Amino acid sequence: MSSAIAFVASFVSILIGTAVGMILKRSLPPELLEGASREAIRLGAGFLATIAALVIGRMIASAKNSYDTQSANIRQLGTNAVLVDQMLAKYGPAAKAARNLLRETIPSATNRIWQERPRSLS
For residue range 88-117, list pLDDT tens digits in order. Answer: 999 999 999 999 999 998 888 888 877 766
Helix or strand or coil: residue 35?
coil
User: What is the DSSP code (8-state) at residue 28?
Assistant: S
42 vs 9: CA distance, rounded Å: 24
For residue range 33-72, list pLDDT tens digits in order. Answer: 778 877 887 898 899 889 888 988 998 898 899 889 988 9
Contact criterion met (CB below 8 Å) for 73 and 21: no
96 vs 88: CA distance, rounded Å: 8
Domains of the chain, by residue range, sit at 3-115
Q: Mean pLDDT in the chain?
A: 84
